[in-house]
Amino acid sequence: MDTPRRMDGPTLMWICYTRSMRILAVTFIVAAASFPALHAQQAAASIDLPEGAQVVLQARGDGVQIYTCTSKEGEAKWVLKAPDAKLLDASGKSIGNHFAGPTWKLDDGSQVQGELVTSSPSPEAGSVAWLKLRAKAGTATGMLGDVTLIRRTETHGGAAPTTGCATSQDAGKTVQVHYTATYTFYSGTAAR
């Protein structure tokens, strides 16, 4: 009968080192294989622009999404009532407001209303969707007079709560959820 071979310290360390390196290599391979899927998720979250779209204005929205608890046929859920946000320029100075409509109104009186074209989930959990909207006919005035398309991207927060609106007794409650987003206004093409 063979006697089990006893390993000395360096041999045992070499075996452990080799095993650890194999595990590390497998981990790197799995991580590398995940990058294309992550990139595809991020690309799917963006909302494509038609060719020829030109930026008229970009502003940061900082405010709240206002939700009302509604009950229909015994089922209660949060429904968006309106946004209420300040529009800020790149330096953080207030240049206007965003409110129901949806409407964006600048301090100089320029304004535009939007109609939803498409939405895409935000890549950040708990955040409102990214949107592409077309300018409602006849609503764009002043500096925003040539706007044909509006995008809401880079959203942080603002999603409807997951609690507090469960029964018909909750109906009528309102809640304000803080959010920020980037609003970009485009001209030069019709929204698709």
Residue 48 confidence (pLDDT): 87
Residue 188 confidence (pLDDT): 84
Residue 77 confidence (pLDDT): 95
pLDDT in single tens digits along all 192 residues of the chain: 566 566 566 655 555 555 655 554 444 444 444 444 444 344 443 588 888 899 999 999 999 999 999 998 888 999 999 999 999 999 999 999 999 999 999 999 999 999 999 999 999 999 999 999 999 999 999 999 999 999 999 999 999 999 999 998 999 999 999 999 999 999 986 554
Per-residue tokens: 151:
């995008």
Q: Which helix (H) or strand (E) holds 47?
A: none
Contact 120, 45 (CB under 8 A): yes
Per-residue tokens: 114:
């939007």
pTM of the model: 0.74
Count the helices and strands in the chain (H runs, E runs): 1, 8
3-state percent breakdown (helix, strand, coil) of the chain, nearest 5: 20, 45, 35
**Residue 148 backbone dihedrals phi, psi, to 5 degrees:** -120, -15
- Selection from 129, 134, 137, 94 nearest residue 114 by Cα: 134
27: exposed, middle or buried (Cβ count in 10 Å: 0-12, 13-18, 19+): exposed
Q: Which helix (H) or strand (E) holds 44?
A: helix 9-45
Residue 7 confidence (pLDDT): 58
